[in-house]
Amino acid sequence: MNPENVPVIVIDALDECGGLDGQHSSHRVNLMWGLKTWSTLSKKFKLLVTSRAEPDIVYFFSTTQHQSLNVLSGDSVDPKSSEDIEKFLEYHLGQIAARSHGALPPDWPGRRIIKWLTQIAAGLFIWVDTAIRFMKRGEPQEQLDRILGSASMGGLATLYSSILSASFVEPSQKVLEGFRRIVGTIILAKDPQPTSSLIHLCSVDHSTLSYIRNGLQSVLDSGDVLRFSHQSFVDFLLDPAQSHSAFSIDLGRQRRELTLACLKAMKAHLRFNICDIRSSHERNKDIMDLDERIKECIPYYVSYSTYYWAEHLTETGFDVEILEYVDTFMMKQFLFWLEVLSLTKRVNVASRTIGLLISWLRSGKQNDKIAVDMKKFVAAFGGAISQSMPHIYLSALSFSPQSSAVYREYAKHYPRRLGIERGGYEEWPIMQKVLLGHESTVSSVAFSPDGTRIVSGSWDLTVRVWDSETAEIVAGPLEGHTKSVTSVAFSPNGTRFVSGSGDKMVRVWDAKTAEMIAGPLEGHTEAINAVAFSPDGARIVSGSDDMTMRVWDTETAEMVAGPFAGHTGVVSSVAFSPDGKRVISGSHDKTIRVWDAETAEMIATPFEGHTDAVTSVTFSPNGTRVVSASDDMSIRVWDPETAKMVAEPLHGHISRGTSVAFSSDGTRVISASGDRAIWVWDAKTLKRVAGPFDGHTHDVTSVAFSPDGTRIVSGSYDNTIRVWDAVATDMIAGPSEGHADLISSVAFSPDGTCIVSGSYDQMVYVWDAETADIVAGPFDGHNDVITSVAFSPDGKHVASGGHDTTIQVWDVFTAEMVAGPFEGHTGSVSSVAFSPDGMYILSGSYDKTILVWDVETTAVVAGPFEGHTDGVRSVAFSFDGTYIVSGSHDMTIRVWDTGTQEMVAGPFEGHTAAVTSVVFSLDDTRIVSGSEDMTIRVWNAETAELVAGPFEGHTNSVSSVAVSHDGMYIVSGSADTTIRVWDANTAEMVAGPLGGHTWAVNTVAFSPDDNYVISGSSDNTIRVWDIETLGLNLPAFSDTSKLVDGWMLGPNSELLFWVPPALQTGLFRPSTISVLANVQ
């Protein structure tokens, strides 16, 4: 690079960034962290920053490499500064003289005056700049005389007073009131205001605004958006000792005025369907002319008011007049307000805004019930509202609990919306959002320090950043890691986040630009499992499979401490102490250790007590406690000084512990487990106070509290992230009825009145097919997952088989085991069936064999039937009982003679993946099979020839098939979450795909009269479908409507309605007559 072309970046007046409350402004914080990063660039780049010495800025530069140059003013002014000011005056005064067309002499106002003005400026460029502006906007000599006339006083305050006196001669009360409102709004506004907005917010006419603007030209930047050129003028106006009382700005009064202005603007302008959107079928982003509609229907002052009214409200004391407007907003305008946020992509401010409203109401000791409900409304439906404005009314209001204050106040005004005939929410849901996008296990999640963002890492090799209010991806997927991302964390100031990966690398990313700004940090020799920032954000600690930890400098990417060696197993979890002086680690060697963060020396004896791998550790916010989770299923709390437990282990999870975290106030602990549940514990009493939070369909891997402690985020093996209401319940959930895990098998009773189900929760239940009530169970006896269930021909008994290699027979009425366990298989039992006479039970197993058992004696009476070269997945008797059909992982089907135990047909070959389900037709002439190759086939039972199919349409494995009793139809269930009904002869689909299940369909069956189909799913539910309705002309919402990311879509993918996550598994389709599921 040519030295003459070295780029110089100038940031002037850093102290003015963020306005009046600059030290707490996120804009200023983010800018300073940007400066910290820029300070590490090559010295070819020059970065010049000017600022007054405010405390946060002084502290920032004390920790950032730089060269200081003090620019002095007053008596200590640097002569060089005075020389520069003098040259500045010579040039600009010469320009004024030149434009006077001879009215002023070329050397005006003369060397002596220029020297005098330089002396008065006392090193302040803002003084001379303002003076020049003042002279330019009037008769120059007259304006100069005004300045010189008050020069004996000196200083900016005198200059500003002169400008105001000259610009506003004997101002009327109207002018002074307009001045205060306009200037107060410019000072207090959260965003700069154009003149058109100021007219409305300040309640002034064009003439008054124009007059005041002209009078302030010397201190305003040019342009339509009004900004003061320098903070010193604002300081002058806010100091009654300096400014004339007529122009002095009373901040308290102006805050109140601006708050009222925002509330009045909303009251006057907000209305139903503010932009006249004509259809609820489109997402906001697909509305062609939406930008033009917004410009036309939502003026800037209205959008500003909707965004910032609550911030202004909290800066104002409680006031009865303001309360009247607030009440109007809560009772009449809340949904209109959400319309503006939806259309302008600002739904993410809604929750914080209502939170500010709640705080203001409580400060005035007012009833906040509806405001609290409003916040829950936003939490539950923010994602849908951000995507489609009309669904504020059509979906969100419809699915709100009918007991909620929002529903009671607003539903009556909007009768033309979605009707909930049965079910829905009785109370606000604990699960607020499901974040979808990752394509594999979500291994780690964390909130940003302000709670507005969530960062996630996944085994899909990516990192993503989400809006915590709308559930939308705001950054990512961020790619760079070449193996699974195992851990993520935000920096304490929220400007960066870090990721660790199985590729042995640590990467640091900019939270705003999503660009990698440090790394990859290299040094570990095995996969990284955990990363964390130090409290000051200057360091990162990482833990690895190489059994060590390392501490890195976030700016230089160099290792500054470590490796910390001592663990004899994988390091699974790491964290800094709140003071940043210590590092804690948990390991698969069953111990926890505390280390000096600088010397890498262990400073406490290993914490011993866990009986299996330690998976998660963290300090309490005050550093006096450590909490840990382990594969031994316990949570333990320790004293970090003594390395001793402070109480007995906490038990509640029924699988390995995966993650623990403290709330930011240290009063609660959250834990997650392989049992899919999340619990909240009181950190003092160590008792469970909330949970279980159920919803994940696989192991929960990571949990964290939001900074304010009101929400919980979790990640899971089910590829999802979920956000929960952490304060929705203060009671432990009571006993539940129904399956708590995926449904593996279902069957109708011979008379069609009951349904039996088996599940991975190791339980069997019998349900009333009409009422969906449990009539028997749980049948508790298996000690591993149940894979198959069947009714006896007389309907009095149920047989079950499972991974514990046994079969058990139960009395349907007493739920007691009456035969078994039947022992003989050496592998999981995959399928069971009764013989037509009920005397025998048939079983297939992953041990590749088939056995026939005597129901009374539990003895094997036939078998093992051997021939399959891989596990047997499905078996069935012929309807006359003389034959057995089997399907296997070896991709074949075989038919066996029950008496001779010989294979009499097959192997049937054609499937290209495991055969998952087989069944005879009623006349025993055909066999129907389903396979992981996504097809169904119909075979001749004697010749093994294919007679129909393959039936194609499913997009994932076919898990189960059944034949109607008249032989005309086949029903299939698939891992693609759908059910399809086929013509058995033509292989054409006659109904479906039937949507409703939200996870894989594992099992299907026809009712004895063929009028109904039942299905069991990995979403833990059983559905009963009315087949008779499937041939009718269905409405837009039909059994074939797709549920995608919560949206029910019509035939052309148009939006019909949005369904909250917790209600999706129980949603009835037009032909669904009941849903059998776990209930509290």
- What is the reported pLDDT for 730? 43
Higher-pLDDT residue of 8 and 384 is 384
Residues 531 and 544 sit within 8 Å (Cβ to Cβ): no
pLDDT band at 23 (very low <50, low <70, confident <90, very high): low
Range in 213-217, 358-362, 614-618, 824-828 the model is least confident about: 213-217
At residue 1068, does pLDDT exceed 50?
Answer: yes
Higher-pLDDT residue of 1027 and 438 is 438
Check residue 396 and report its DSSP letter.
Answer: I
Residues 638 and 661 sit within 8 Å (Cβ to Cβ): no
- What is the reported pLDDT for 607? 93
At residue 1030, does pLDDT exceed 60?
Answer: no
Closest CA to 992 of 984, 1007, 982, 1003: 982
Query: Average of pLDDT values for 122-134?
Result: 78
Residues 371 and 326 sit within 8 Å (Cβ to Cβ): no
Higher-pLDDT residue of 606 and 55 is 606
pLDDT tens string 928-964: 999 999 999 999 999 999 998 799 999 999 999 999 8
Check residue 506 and report its DSSP letter.
Answer: E
Range in 165-174, 285-294, 587-596, 843-852 the model is least confident about: 165-174
Query: Average of pLDDT values for 166-195?
Result: 88
Query: Average of pLDDT values for 671-675?
Result: 92
Higher-pLDDT residue of 901 and 46 is 901
Which residue in this structure is represented by tokens 């010189």?
148
- What is the reported pLDDT for 1078? 58
Whole-angstrom CA distances from 69 to 39, 72, 646, 936, 972 are: 16, 9, 54, 80, 78
Q: Domain map of the chain by residue range?
A: 3-69, 103-250, 252-412, 432-725, 737-866
Higher-pLDDT residue of 589 and 1010 is 589
- What is the reported pLDDT for 94? 87
pLDDT band at 731 (very low <50, low <70, confident <90, very high): very low
pLDDT tens string 353-381: 999 999 999 999 999 999 999 999 999 99
At residue 1080, does pLDDT exceed 50?
Answer: no
Residues 759 and 786 sit within 8 Å (Cβ to Cβ): yes
pLDDT band at 141 (very low <50, low <70, confident <90, very high): confident
- What is the reported pLDDT for 1035? 38
The structure tokens listed for 257 are 């005025």
Helical residues (DSSP H) of 63-205, grouped into ranges: 79-98, 111-121, 125-136, 140-149, 155-167, 173-188, 195-201
Cβ-based neighbours of 139, under 8 Å, separated by 6 or more = none
Sign of the CA dihedral 855, 858, 861, 864? Answer: positive
What's the fold here for domain 737-866? Methylamine Dehydrogenase; Chain H (2.130.10)
Cβ-based neighbours of 412, under 8 Å, separated by 6 or more = none
- What is the reported pLDDT for 732? 41
pTM: 0.72
pLDDT tens string 480-515: 999 999 999 999 988 899 999 999 999 999 888 888
In the predicted model, what is the mean pLDDT of the chain? 87
Check residue 1006 and report its DSSP letter.
Answer: E
pLDDT band at 22 (very low <50, low <70, confident <90, very high): low
Higher-pLDDT residue of 61 and 1072 is 61
SS3 1024: strand
Closest CA to 826 of 808, 841, 804: 804
- Which range among 152-166, 237-251, 905-919, 1027-1041 has the greatest average pLDDT? 905-919
Give CA torsion, residues 141, 145, 151, 154, to 10 deg: -50
- What is the reported pLDDT for 733? 42
Domain 432-725 identical in fold to domain 737-866: yes
- What is the reported pLDDT for 1031? 43
Query: Average of pLDDT values for 194-223?
Result: 88
pLDDT band at 153 (very low <50, low <70, confident <90, very high): low
pLDDT band at 1029 (very low <50, low <70, confident <90, very high): low
CATH class of 432-725: mainly beta
- What is the reported pLDDT for 266? 97
d(CA 1049, CA 288): 20
**Amino acid letter, residue 911:** H
